[in-house]
Every structure is written in structure tokens, then in C-alpha cells.
Amino acid sequence: MTDQVIVIVGPTAVGKTKLSVELALRLDGEIISGDSMQIYRGMDIGTAKVTKEEMQGVPHHLIDIKNFDEDYSVKEFQQNVRDCIQAIQKRQHVPIIVGGTGLYIKAALYDYTFQEEAESAVDPYSNFTNEELHLRLNQVDPLSAQKIHPNNRRRVLRALQIFEQSGKSKSDHLSSQQHICLYNVRFIGLTLPRSLLYERINQRVDAMMQQGLIEEVERLIRLGALSSHQSMKAIGYKEWFDYFNQSMGLEETLEKIKQNSRRYAKRQYTWFRNQMDIHWLNVNIDDFDQTVQAALRYVEKGEHYRYIAFNYAFQNLDNFKHSGILDYWFGYTQGEKDNPTMYELRTQRYHHQVLIVIYFDETLISVKELKSLYQQGLDEKLCSYVKPEWDGEGIQIDKLVRIKELV
């Protein structure tokens, strides 16, 4: 198993740290932080950095390696992680990468290559406003311009530098790479119903305040931390500059941190689902050991079993006779606030919703193939508004009320 690399990802506040330590204790593992902000010394509370007690003696890497006024690039992270993996495996231990910074983690594990930055004494764009700079990028690399916000001047300049040095856009460089995974990886993603996750995020921010978050930020500012520093772009830190400038009140600042954290969690879900082949696990808050055991089964046996739920709207189920589909059953949501669907979260109207739940082996049938079978089984008149509801996007499979037969 020491040739494996275990990767635990998911949104903020979902339980990644706890699972990583539990797996490390059972598998003789060492943990590599996949968080781009936990690298900074003195930023402990706002980044929810793992404590000595939480580590339980498990070695942790890439935590507290930079000062708050130092930059840190994805290229540096890539090299640091690869060095850690090599050293950990040499000790016959299992590397476990845990974090929510998706691009950093993917760059470390896949065959990403980065263009060397050429140092220049003169910045040819020093007189350009952010909008003018972004317009220039849009002229030479419209795909990158769509992805980079005009106010992110550093990334805009970097994309322009790549084009001017190589004659190829950053987008062309990325598309030419094959993005092959370089390691034997077990990707584990943790998920919770969105309402519960958001509640945990809000509670975490309140707990951070009790632990001394505002004092931590004050100390960093006294030491010279500026809003322009890369470290101070982190959620939980950047919001305080308006507070200390007296342009935002305390309650408004706290709500801003919570809102930004919830939005970040949503972006993390989207990114990981689109960028990596991840084995998703529902976190059992009441019995976390169940989540640990499910992760161990996947790591040790390579089981790729997953659940997926669709709105029930079939004429027949003949399409679901496939070797990769191990079981399927019907159920309905109880229309309760502790188990809402995405529609109910949006509308705040709670009602029963009949679903078909499919248990499948993703090594034999892909999600894309399942969706295709699902669409083929629909009445054409229903296709326009019936959409799949995914486990982890608002439906808890284990809380559905089962129906033995549905005619």
C-alpha cells in the first residue's frame, strides 16, 4: 500500500482533517497539507489549521513553512508535495494529501508543467489600469481572460507574460498538456447536504471568534501584514481590513466571512466534481467511524461503489439492466428541513419527492453512461424539466424513505 497516495478533498468544514488523521493512524500514514493558506506561520485560527492535539502524533507536512509577507506559487507547492511523497514512501509510510485547494493538489499529482518566470527590471504595464490590463489579455488569450478577474492583477500579468515569452497563450499551454496522473492515487471526496454544511461553516466562524480570530489578525497587522500580501487574500483575513478601517462593523464583517466561506464551499464542490475522478463519501456526523470504515474499504480494496439519485419519471426500467448497476430502489424525501432537496432549499417549500436510487460500480459504468440511460428512459415530454439530483447536492441517501414497489 506504500506505493499509494491517498487524497482527501472536499469543501471547507466538511471533516477532511478528522478523516485524514484517522486514516493515517490506521494505515501508518503521514499527512501533507493541501491548503494554500495553512503554509503561513501565525495564521492558525482563520485557516482552521490542525492543532497538535488533533494531529495525535501523526507527522504533518507543508504547514507553517512561510511568513505572512512571502508569496507561494502553485509551482513551489508542486515541487514540495512531490518531494514529500518521495520521502514518505521511502520511509515505507503512506502519503495522505488533505485539503481544499484544488488547483494546487491537481498540479502536484498530474503532469502539469509551468512556464519559467523571467525577471524584468521594467514592468511594461505599470501604467495600465486593471481594466486596461484585462482588456489586453482578452485580446491575446480570451479563455484566460474569462477565468481571471480583472482585479487579480498578478494572475493577469502572469498570463500576459506567458504569451509574450512563448508566443502561445496560457490556455494553449494548458490544453497541450495531457494531465496524466503520475501516482497511484485514491481520491476521496467528502460531502454533506448543503444546508448542514452551511450550518457547520457558520458555527465554525463563530468558534473562530471565540478562539481569538480578531486578535490573531490584529497581531499580523501590527507585524506589518498588508491587504496586498498573498496571505491576506485568505477568507477570514481579508474581510478584517475594512473593519479596522472602520468602514464595516463587527457583525457585518462576521457575516461577510460566513458568506464568503459558503460561496467558496460551493466553488470547491463544483471544481472537484469537474476536475478529478473522485470517490465521494457522505459524512456521517453522528457516527463518524462509519465514514472512516467506508474510506478504508475504498483505499484497501479499491471499491468504486457509489449511489446516485434521480427524480423518478420512467416509463420502464429496462434500460437499467447493466452489469455495472448492482441494485436500485425507490424512495422519497420526507419534505423535512433536515433532509432537503436542492429545489426545497431554493424555494423553502418542503414536499415529498419520489426518487430512484441506483447503486453502481463506477469501474464498470460511468456517471455519464448512467445519465445517458436515465435520459433514454424518460418520457420525452418530461425531459425539459426533470433533472438529476445528486447525492451530496442536497439529498441524503440514507435518510430516504424506501418504497418496495412503485407502479
Distance of CA 22 to the CA centre of its chain: 20
pLDDT of residue 167: 79
pLDDT of residue 42: 97
pLDDT of residue 274: 81
Longest dimension (CA), the chain: 74
Range of the structural domain that residue 153 is part of = 114-176
Residue 80 resides in a domain: no
Residue 153 contacts residue 233 (beta carbons within 8 Å)? no
Same domain, 172 and 200: no
CATH of the domain at 127: 1.10.20.140
pLDDT of residue 250: 97
Q: CA neighbours within 13 Å on the CB side: how many for 333? A: 27
Mean pLDDT of 255-260: 97
Residue 123 resides in a domain: yes
pLDDT at residue 302 tops 50:
yes
Count: domains in the chain: 3
Instruction: With 0.85 as the threshold, say if the pTM is over it.
Output: no
Same domain, 121 and 155: yes
pLDDT of residue 381: 38
Instruction: Give 359's strand partners.
Output: 307, 327
Residue 272 contacts residue 102 (beta carbons within 8 Å)? yes
Residues, the chain: 407
399 pLDDT band (50/70/90 cuts)? low
Same domain, 309 and 367: yes
Compute the distance between CA of residue 372 and CA of residue 387 in angstroms, rounded to an integer.
Answer: 12
Residue bearing the bigger pLDDT, 352 or 225: 225
Tell me the pLDDT tens digit for each residue of 359-388: 777 767 777 787 777 666 554 433 332 333
pLDDT of residue 105: 96
